[in-house]
């Protein structure tokens, strides 16, 4: 690769002997190499879920079967799909043309580093699609494919069934985390190639169920788990009871309140999955505090009950349909702006796509924190603010009364979630909030955090159970850094601001670093925040004794 050799050295090493097409090192020769291995792939989308969304070719199929039950003209559909997208998305066209295969990205992908599978090098994953593009859409390809050895020379290949299966296998071994793009000298966003690849696969009905069913649920019911409004409210009511038991204060939220200042939307994982549930309790405590002290009027919605957007992993159109619900609800309720919970990919959707999909949201106001007067110009068009920006602002202005000692059992580090970190540059705020809530904080090594953060290995819809080997292999680089700070500084808690992370990193810890557990940032806030009129707390939000209390 380019970082190993100077140009002169590289030229010296060129082997001028022609290769035969049967040579085993020809990676483009896929017929022998595609093995769809259990543990590495997710189950196929259920036909009912594909039907709900009106997406094509809904049928039961199995990736390990020879016959994928594709439409007869699947090649034509894909060809037209590629053509249309090359015309529509300039980035896609550039990313197909511009790569020089320098290899700078090759060893930057957590899936490559963890699985050791060369086709998980971002450059090779992208080449799966790029080779088809070269073959069918470039002049050189059209000429060269007629000559013997011409395809090989150009790195082109035909769109065969094996090539298709390989694309499916590897585009669902990418979490669209964009770490590779940080190192690309051309700034190629390899995640966008995966996004486009998956969108194309969806044209012939090749989605996975861990994405298709949550999308269908979200479209029909409002959240990924398909939890209906009354059950959503039941869960929050239950949190309210728990908080009252711990603090003595009733933190009941408001739902669908017309004319509220702020609509709060969070991923449903915070409401329905541990340990996100404790983060959710943190939000409830914060909103109660702000209501009592400053009269802030926040409403929840059982209609816009999902901040996450698995449509993002399906197609641009599907992403747009799901994203629209939050804005429709904000319009209906007449709120001033939207506050978003601790979520990962939701923020890439908001920050990078919302504005051109459903924006500008000019029926709302540019978000201003009514308590501090801070104007969030970064959200001037989308009107949506990340809760760690909001809370960090409150802390900075001394508006929150926090008792750090209640988190004294936590020795923290922070995992930058890929999308908030690389997708919107949210690096300092979560750290600022954590440091205001706990005393002991240690960073993981610099090449594993901030812009260079390693993915949890389960993002972009890959947080299923059946692909556990893939997830754990992909999690290795993150776990390796966590284990280091655990051994060196005694870190016992991994903080994070993403619902998928809260679930996925918990499993990562169980396999790789069982001494660590995962906590959302607002769980720490919820523990530390001193509510007006609260009783003396003896338990944290997990109903475990507070530090110091257990000894009494």
Partner 1 sequence: MKQTIKKNRNQLLESWFHATINTYPEESARVLGKKSDRFDNPVGAVTRESLEDVLTLVTESFGREGLEKALDPVIRIRAVQAFNPADAVSFVFALKEIGESVIEKADIIKFYRLVDEIALAAFNRYMKCREDIFLLKATESKRRIHHAFERAGLVAELSEGDLLGSKKS
Interface mask toward partner 1 for 343-372; x: CB under 8 A: ------------------------------
Residues 507-546 close enough to bind partner 1 by CB under 8 A:
507, 510-512, 514
- Taking phi over 0 as left and psi of -120 to 50 as alpha, with beta for the rest, 69 belongs to left
Asked if 466 touches partner 1 (CB under 8 A), the answer is yes
Nearer to partner 1, 14 or 139 (CB): 14
Which residues face 255 on adjacent strands? 300
Tokens representing residue 396 in the block: 């900075």
Residues 396-425 close enough to bind partner 1 by CB under 8 A:
none
| Closest approach of partner 1 to the CB of residue 257, in Å | 23
Residues 319-338 close enough to bind partner 1 by CB under 8 A:
none
| Closest approach of partner 1 to the CB of residue 99, in Å | 17
Cα(155)–Cα(26) distance, integer angstroms: 10
**400, 405, 438, 402: which is closest to 538 by C-alpha?**
405
Neighbours of 415 (CB within 10 A): 26
| Closest approach of partner 1 to the CB of residue 239, in Å | 8
At 90, phi and psi to the nearest 5?
-65, -35
**Contacts for 246 with CB less than 8 Å, ≥ 6 apart:** 537, 539, 540, 541, 543
Candidate segments 129-137, 368-376, 412-420, 468-476, binder of partner 1 by CB under 8 A:
468-476
- Taking phi over 0 as left and psi of -120 to 50 as alpha, with beta for the rest, 189 belongs to beta
**DSSP state for residue 120 in the 8-state scheme:** G
Interface mask toward partner 1 for 197-226; x: CB under 8 A: ----------------------------x-
CA 5 to chain centre: 35
Asked if 1 touches partner 1 (CB under 8 A), the answer is yes
> With contact defined as beta carbons under 8 Å apart, do 281 and 288 qualify?
no
| Closest approach of partner 1 to the CB of residue 267, in Å | 13
Asked if 317 touches partner 1 (CB under 8 A), the answer is no
Total residues interacting with partner 1, rule: CB under 8 A:
47
Task: Tell me which of 55, 215, 472, 529 binds partner 1, using CB under 8 A.
Answer: 472
At 340, phi and psi to the nearest 5?
-110, 145
Which residues face 495 on adjacent strands? 414, 519
Nearer to partner 1, 120 or 151 (CB): 120
Nearer to partner 1, 369 or 448 (CB): 448
Asked if 476 touches partner 1 (CB under 8 A), the answer is yes
Nearer to partner 1, 185 or 445 (CB): 445
**Contacts for 286 with CB less than 8 Å, ≥ 6 apart:** 391, 522, 525, 526, 529
Asked if 243 touches partner 1 (CB under 8 A), the answer is no
CA 189 to chain centre: 15
Asked if 309 touches partner 1 (CB under 8 A), the answer is no
Candidate segments 150-158, 198-206, 392-400, 472-480, binder of partner 1 by CB under 8 A:
472-480
Three-state DSSP at 13 gives coil
| Closest approach of partner 1 to the CB of residue 35, in Å | 8
Nearer to partner 1, 50 or 464 (CB): 464
Task: Give the full edge-to-edge strand order of the sheet including 298-299.
Answer: 298-299, 262-265, 337-340, 384-386
Asked if 40 touches partner 1 (CB under 8 A), the answer is yes
- Total residue count of the chain as it appears in this document: 552
Cα(402)–Cα(2) distance, integer angstroms: 51
| Closest approach of partner 1 to the CB of residue 472, in Å | 4
Residue with tokens 């557990």: 517
Asked if 468 touches partner 1 (CB under 8 A), the answer is yes
Residues 249-308 close enough to bind partner 1 by CB under 8 A:
272-274, 277
**Contacts for 342 with CB less than 8 Å, ≥ 6 apart:** 266, 267, 270, 279, 387, 388, 496, 497, 498, 499, 520, 521, 522
Task: Tell me which of 244, 480, 534, 547 binds partner 1, using CB under 8 A.
Answer: 480
Tokens representing residue 1 in the block: 């690769």
Question: Per residue, what are the HEC states of 420-431?
Answer: HHHHHCCCHHHH
Task: Tell me which of 50, 121, 154, 339 binds partner 1, using CB under 8 A.
Answer: 121
> With contact defined as beta carbons under 8 Å apart, do 509 and 493 qualify?
no
Task: Tell me which of 54, 116, 148, 373 binds partner 1, using CB under 8 A.
Answer: 116
Three-state DSSP at 488 gives helix
**329, 319, 391: which is closest to 355 by C-alpha?**
319
Task: Tell me which of 13, 25, 32, 488 binds partner 1, using CB under 8 A.
Answer: 25
Task: Tell me which of 469, 534, 537, 547 binds partner 1, using CB under 8 A.
Answer: 469
Task: Tell me which of 173, 301, 506, 527 binds partner 1, using CB under 8 A.
Answer: 506
Cα(445)–Cα(485) distance, integer angstroms: 8
Cα(98)–Cα(357) distance, integer angstroms: 27
| Closest approach of partner 1 to the CB of residue 542, in Å | 10
Nearer to partner 1, 47 or 103 (CB): 103
> With contact defined as beta carbons under 8 Å apart, do 387 and 429 qualify?
no
Task: Tell me which of 27, 43, 137, 255 binds partner 1, using CB under 8 A.
Answer: 27
Task: Tell me which of 285, 436, 473, 519 binds partner 1, using CB under 8 A.
Answer: 473
Nearer to partner 1, 74 or 512 (CB): 512
Nearer to partner 1, 281 or 315 (CB): 281
Tokens representing residue 362 in the block: 């000019």
Nearer to partner 1, 296 or 518 (CB): 518
Q: Could you list the residues that contact partner 1 (CB under 8 A)? A: 1, 25, 27, 37, 39-40, 106-107, 112-118, 121, 225, 231, 234-235, 238, 272-274, 277, 445, 447-448, 465-466, 468-470, 472-473, 476-477, 480-481, 484, 503, 506-507, 510-512, 514
């Amino acid at each position: 690769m380019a970082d190993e050799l100077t140009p002169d050295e590289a030229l010296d090493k060129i082997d001028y002997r022609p290769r035969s097409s049967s040579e085993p090192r020809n990676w483009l020769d896929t017929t022998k190499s595609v093995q769809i291995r259990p543990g590495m792939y997710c189950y196929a989308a259920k036909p009912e879920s594909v039907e709900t969304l009106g997406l094509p070719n809904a049928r039961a199929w199995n990736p390990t079967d020879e016959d994928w039950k594709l439409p007869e003209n699947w090649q034509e559909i894909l060809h037209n799909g590629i053509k249309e997208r090359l015309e529509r998305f300039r980035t896609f066209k550039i990313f197909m043309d511009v790569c020089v295969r320098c290899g700078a990205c090759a060893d930057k992908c957590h899936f490559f580093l963890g699985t050791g599978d060369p086709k998980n090098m971002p450059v090779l994953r992208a080449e799966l699609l790029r080779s088809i593009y070269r073959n069918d859409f470039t002049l050189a390809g059209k000429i060269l494919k007629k000559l013997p050895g011409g395809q090989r020379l150009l790195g082109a290949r035909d769109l065969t069934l094996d090539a298709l299966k390989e694309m499916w296998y590897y585009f669902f071994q990418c979490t669209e985390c964009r770490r590779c793009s940080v190192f690309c000298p051309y700034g190629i966003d390899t995640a966008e190639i995966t996004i486009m690849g998956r969108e194309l696969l969806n044209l012939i009905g090749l989605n996975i169920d861990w994405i298709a069913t949550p999308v269908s649920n979200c479209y029909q019911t409002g959240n990924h788990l398909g939890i209906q409004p009354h059950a959503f409210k039941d869960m929050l009511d239950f949190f309210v009871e728990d908080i009252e038991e711990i603090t003595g204060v009733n933190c009941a939220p408001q739902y669908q309140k017309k004319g509220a200042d702020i609509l709060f939307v969070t991923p449903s994982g915070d409401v329905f999955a541990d340990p996100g549930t404790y983060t959710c309790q943190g939000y409830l405590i914060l909103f109660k505090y702000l209501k009592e002290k400053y009269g802030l009027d926040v409403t929840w919605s059982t209609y816009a009950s999902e901040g996450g957007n698995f449509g993002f992993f399906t197609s641009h159109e599907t992403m747009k349909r799901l994203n629209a619900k939050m804005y429709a609800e904000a319009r209906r309720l007449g709120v001033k702006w939207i506050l978003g919970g601790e979520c990962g990919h939701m923020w890439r959707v908001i920050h990078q796509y919302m504005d051109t999909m459903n924006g500008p949201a000019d029926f709302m106001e540019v978000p201003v924190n009514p308590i501090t007067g801070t104007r969030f110009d970064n959200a001037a068009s989308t009107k949506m603010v990340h809760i760690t920006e909001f809370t960090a602002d409150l802390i900075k202005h001394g508006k929150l009364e926090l008792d750090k000692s209640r988190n004294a059992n936590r020795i923290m580090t922070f995992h930058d979630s890929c999308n908030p970190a690389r997708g919107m540059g949210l690096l300092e705020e979560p750290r600022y909030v954590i440091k205001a809530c706990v005393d002991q904080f240690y960073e993981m090594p610099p090449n594993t955090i901030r812009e260079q953060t390693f993915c949890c290995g389960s993002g972009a819809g890959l947080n299923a159970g059946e692909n556990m080997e893939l997830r754990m292999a992909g999690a290795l680089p993150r776990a390796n850094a966590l284990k280091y700070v655990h051994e060196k500084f005694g870190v016992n808690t991994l903080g994070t601001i993403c619902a998928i992370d809260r679930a996925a990193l918990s499993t990562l810890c169980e396999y790789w670093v069982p001494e660590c557990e995962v906590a959302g940032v607002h769980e720490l806030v919820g523990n530390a925040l001193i509510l007006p009129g609260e009783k003396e707390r003896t338990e944290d939000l997990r109903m475990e004794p507070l530090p110091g209390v257990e000894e009494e």
